[in-house]
Structure 1
Amino acid sequence: MAKSKRERDTVKEVRRLGGELLSSRDHINNLPLLLSYISLSSPPQHVLESLLSLQSFFTTVLPHLPSPSSSKSPNDPDSIYSTWLRAKFDDFVRSMIRVVVSPQSQEPLREIVLDAIMDFVRLGNVGRFNSSIYHRLLHTIIVQSTAPVEFVADLLASKYLNYIDVRYFTYICLEKLCRTFKADNTFGDKTRMADSDNDGLSRTSTEVLIHKIHYVISHIPQEGPGEKSEYEMWSGSGDHKKNSDLPKDDTKQLKTNKHSINVLSAATISKKMKLKFTKAWISFLRLPLTSDVYKEVLVTLHQAVIPYFSNPIMLSDFLTRSYDIGGVVSVMALSSLFILMTQHGLEYPDFYEKLYELLVPSIFMAKHRAKFFELLDSCLKSPLLPAYLAAAFAKRLSRLALTTPPSGALIIIALIHNLLRRHPSINCLVHREDVYENAKNDSKAEEIAESADDTVSGTTMSSRKPGIDHFNNKESKPIKSNAMGSSLWEIDTLRHHYCQPVSRFVMSLVNDLTVRAKTTEMNVKDFSSGSYATIFGDEIRRRIKQVPVAFYKATPTSLFSESEFAGWSFKYEESNETTSEVGERNSLNMFEENDQIHVKRQRTECS
């Protein structure tokens, strides 16, 4: 009770100090007292009461305060007073930022304080966007604070980043942070910060810093052309305060400043937005990204970044390096790289060789396998694809069908079906019983392979033998794999697959290739996300005309029936002899045979 009463008295005292400060300039000494309550150690009620009073006070005097870089006569009392107020305002902003970024503060209080900071961002630069305060806010959130960035970043995204000028200056701030980090990778200990004083905020490590920058830059909403919020500005484009209402010095400054209101209008910012977006992302991608951030960037790059880039070809180096890494990273980079090749004219000669190397058994267990197989089908759709390349992909996929799970086999059958329909030149692989006899039909492909100096396979036309598959599955280059001299015998083996959906799908493949006019290409998307669960679900939902019933009309007398083992007999012959009698008879027979052998040996020696 005593503590609660003391807090109520303190709240009344803070409210009294604020009222006196707002009423008369004679109580200006209340300003430092009210600033002392804007701290992490003060109760939320004290912080809130002090914040309301200080916000009202600085909103009225802020247009008349000098800028931090302005120089006036130090002997002028008004100048000294204005400079003192500017210093107190900077302390006020710094204290509010501490409250916002601290996880010790209550979330409702952090939201209210953030609103107050953004109000000063809107009003603190003579009607223009105060990028200095906003940069200090982002700098503290990302660099100096060890608290998670998600809460404040989500608040900014939901309430303020819909305004075009807030997005514009956010990209500028992020670019500066990334460049500073790139220039000095010891961003935690040696980099000189804007707030050099000891404010109790520790500097973050490299991995945490990169995570924070990625979270902020990836959660900035993007507006398409024609959206209403594209031209909405937080600073109001000068509508908040007319130029005629400003002091003469400030009006003159607006006319002479190159970043005046007329220059940074909504239309001007909209034209520059793509450039700032591009610079911010390029600076971020040049950082030493961690593995998890690197993968998250690759997953969303084709949807969240490329459409808003001023020149998407600038991402070609980053994507080609990612594509050359191999494994799951190459799979993630495939979507963006494919967009650059098909929509922006990127030339990448080794694209299909790298894509060929990605076809390994582990790809059927990858997290992003569905998107990969859809892109694989799109990449192999071009009619200008050479015959040897289409044959190499078809043969590589058919060989994988022998070891993949049933869901992977279904995807492979669909891909090979589309390849055979798009490229009639590889139909020779469908039914080829003797490779040696049909090798003359593939002379053109063999000339290409021989010109490539096929030392890996080591096979020539004279050394080939019937019944041997000359396809080299271990060869990484499609042109040297000898796929045109092989056949799709692996697909024929799937007719007897243990999983009935696979065997039925193979039979439908044979029928579709027989009657081409009545069939179309298969949609790989229907099979790309398959698994054991989806196959089982399809089977239990499938309507079956004849259901096999497991029952016996008569009790079986043997494990196997005679029809299953033709020529074999499993009947047991009964005998009246006991086991001992049989053993004695066998012993007598053995002794008689030994005596006969001994007599024959003596006769031979005597003769």
Structure 2
Amino acid sequence: MEPAISGGNGKKREKKREKKHKLKDVKALGHQLLSSRAHINNLPLLLTFVAPSSPPSHVVESVLSLQSFFTPLVPELPSLASASSSLKWESEKDPELIYKTWLRSKFDEFVRSLVGIVVSPDASDTLKEIVLDTLMEFVKLGKCGSFQSTIYHRLIHSIVNSPVVIDPILEDLSLKYFKYIDVSYFTYISLEKIMRTIQPKEFHSKNVEGGDAGRARPSLKQTIHKIHRIILRIPPPGGRDDPSNIEMWSGSELDVNLSKDDGEQLKSDKGDKVLSAASVSKKIKLKFTKAWLSFLRLPLPLDVYKEVLVYLHKDVIPHLSNSSMLCDFLTRSYDIGGVVSVMALSSLYILMTQHGLEYPNFYDKLYALLQPSIFMAKHRAKFFELLDSCLRSPLLPAYLAAAFAKKLSRMSLSVPPSGSLVIIALIHNLLRRHPSINCLVHREDDGAATKGQAKMENDVIPGFDHFRDEEVNPIKTNASRSSLWEVDSLRYHYCPAVSRFVLSLESDLTVRAKTTEVNVKDMSSGSYGTIFGDEMRRRVKQVPLAFYRATPSSLFSESDFPGWSFQLEAGAEEDDDDDDNHGDCRTCANASTGQYAKRQRLESTS
């Protein structure tokens, strides 16, 4: 109960102080502090107003006064550690050092209060924006005009570990500050430091020992989500090779050294102070790579994992200093199977085709991904395009091309019409690129085989298919001994678009000069809606019609179902309305019969 009492007393004291000091009093305290050192005692009093619980007007007025006071003094203030060590020896001889050390402690207190307001759930977004601008000004002027990474790291660390929604803060950072290369550079450094300190096993074990294991996972998940949002907001370093695109927050020229906490400086490799565009781009690429590798080593939640795989190939891999560092992450993702493997295929394909990655079991895993469920996946369009690209190589073995063609053919029996259209396009391209598998299009039983050979090889048993659909190894599927009979059945498909498109396989695809490849991208994202829309837009010249001499009295005739009768039950009563309806039906039937007779007479006379 004691903390609650003390907290209540603190709130009471704050309310009394707010009543005691009005806004004009806060302004007067600020003017006095800026006018003379004699009013230096106003500094601690103004610091008490820099709190989320204070009125916003009091906070803004105090922040403006304290910012004006500390801005010319910050470059001259010693670090707190060095000042404390000097005080042990020269405290009695140098009162100025004591004064500056005290100012340094108050400045650190001021920075902590500003950071507390930025991540406070009680402060308004407008107040947070003002306080964030003040913090970034101190970051800009911290070390004699160079970047003050200590303050900035404290800000990023507090944002990551805060319990509030950080989207408004990130919006301000991305719009105003992430465009500067030094801010991006030190953001990567801060995120890497934070991620290095995250130890999921130790964190979980500590919570288990303390009996609070249920809070370990949500807290870690929330932290990873915030790191993910921050790292996504930073512009990639790819567009900063041109010196005209490079902007510094801590200085307008490129001859400014950017120091960081570890003593490393953002300068050229030759040791000079002038930063060329190439050296700046190289430096930030290294930090970009380290930050992303540290992030991918974390236990990513499934939603973050999938989102990362979606944009990894276009937003991350082109900007890494060494893209082969992602090999382990992508191969592990590809081995998971299911949707995750499909989403990892894009990045893995780029590493194989552009960066020389060797993955011996790539086609085996790709073959295992061919399941009917893939035709209902969210990212199926990109998967089919990559599948078509992976099967384009002329060096692909014949057994592998046959296995993919036969597997796709078998799936055409159990997928939606849009999936059948994609399958026909993929098989069309396979047959055109690999003439050695055209024997699958039309294969008949060998009648010259003896009965003994039939028992041993099953070559002449009618309806026997050598293909093993359950086999996951393409070389063991016996696809080369089978045929694409499933594609032939698509000629009688209930969807007109499928039955029309399958006719394209009847031409001789081995003559490459007379045929062209089908663009899988045009139909990879099809659905029932797109097929229906295409059918509605088609211009039909001839429409089949059915004529009846008399109006049908039932949906099915008795000849369609022998042994069944479609009659009213005995004893059924009919009222006068039914008689009227029957009369109307008879009238309609006679009218239709008369119209049919007139049409027949007109045709005979013509």
TM-score, structure 1 length as denominator?
0.80
Flag structure 2 segments of 5+ consecutive residues without an equivalent.
1-14, 208-215, 566-606
Query: Which residue among 354, 364, 381 is the counterpart of 2:375?
Result: 364
1:33 aligns with 2:45: yes
Question: Partner amino acid for 2:479?
Answer: A
Matched position secondary structure for 1:205: helix
1:544 aligns with 2:540: yes
Deviates more, 1:489-498 or 1:428-437: 428-437
Query: Which residue among 497, 509, 523 is the counterpart of 1:513?
Result: 509
Distance 2:80 2:204 in 1: 26
1:177 aligns with 2:194: yes
Q: Where does 1:553-568 land on structure 2 (aligned, <5 Å)?
A: 553-556=549-552
1:291 aligns with 2:291: no
Shift of 1:108: 1.0
Deviates more, 1:547-556 or 1:292-301: 547-556
Deviates more, 1:169-178 or 1:6-15: 6-15
Question: Partner amino acid for 1:65?
Answer: L
Shift of 1:550: 4.9
Name the structure 2 match of 1:466: 461
1:484 aligns with 2:480: yes
Distance 1:460 1:345, change over 3 A: farther
1:10 aligns with 2:6: no
Q: What's the C-alpha RMSD, in Å, of the aligned pairs?
A: 3.3
Contact 2:241 2:281 in 1 (8 A): no
Contact 1:188 1:204 in 2 (8 A): no
Q: Where does 1:41-440 land on structure 2 (aligned, <5 Å)?
A: 41-71=53-83, 72=86, 73-75=90-92, 76-143=94-161, 145-182=162-199, 185-186=202-203, 205-222=219-236, 223-227=238-242, 230-236=245-251, 259=265, 263=273, 265=275, 267=277, 268-434=279-445
Distance 1:293 1:511 in 2: 47
Deviation readout 1:427-461 (Å, 9 max, x if unpaired): 000011227879xxxxxxxxxxxxxxxxxxxx996
Contact 1:58 1:89 in 2 (8 A): yes
Identical positions, percent: 63
Deviates more, 1:296-305 or 1:547-556: 547-556
Distance 1:293 1:148 in 2: 17
Distance 1:512 1:225 in 2: 52
Distance 1:220 1:551 in 2: 70
Distance 2:101 2:455 in 1: 90
Name the structure 1 match of 2:12: none
Matched position secondary structure for 1:60: coil
Please identify the structure whose Cα radius of gyration is greater.
1
Distance 2:135 2:555 in 1: 85
Deviates more, 1:391-400 or 1:270-279: 270-279
Distance 1:528 1:91 in 2: 59
Contact 1:231 1:266 in 2 (8 A): no
Distance 1:266 1:160 in 2: 21
Shift of 1:10: 1.2
Shift of 1:483: 0.4
Question: Partner amino acid for 2:132?
Answer: L
Shift of 1:138: 0.4
Shift of 1:272: 0.7
Shift of 1:56: 0.6
Shift of 1:48: 0.5
Count of aligned pairs between the two proteins: 523
Matched position secondary structure for 1:70: helix
Flag structure 1 segments of 5+ consecutive residues without an equivalent.
191-201, 244-252, 439-458, 572-607
Deviation readout 1:243-269 (Å, 9 max, x if unpaired): 9xxxxxxxxx99xx8738864846443
Contact 2:431 2:510 in 1 (8 A): no
TM-score, structure 2 length as denominator?
0.80
Contact 2:248 2:254 in 1 (8 A): no
Distance 1:40 1:188, change over 3 A: farther
Deviation readout 1:169-216 (Å, 9 max, x if unpaired): 1111111111111487419979xxxxxxxxxxx998111011111111
Question: Partner amino acid for 2:33?
Answer: L
Shift of 1:13: 0.7
Question: Partner amino acid for 1:425?
Answer: S
Question: Partner amino acid for 2:190?
Answer: C
Shift of 1:553: 4.9
Question: Partner amino acid for 1:11?
Answer: L
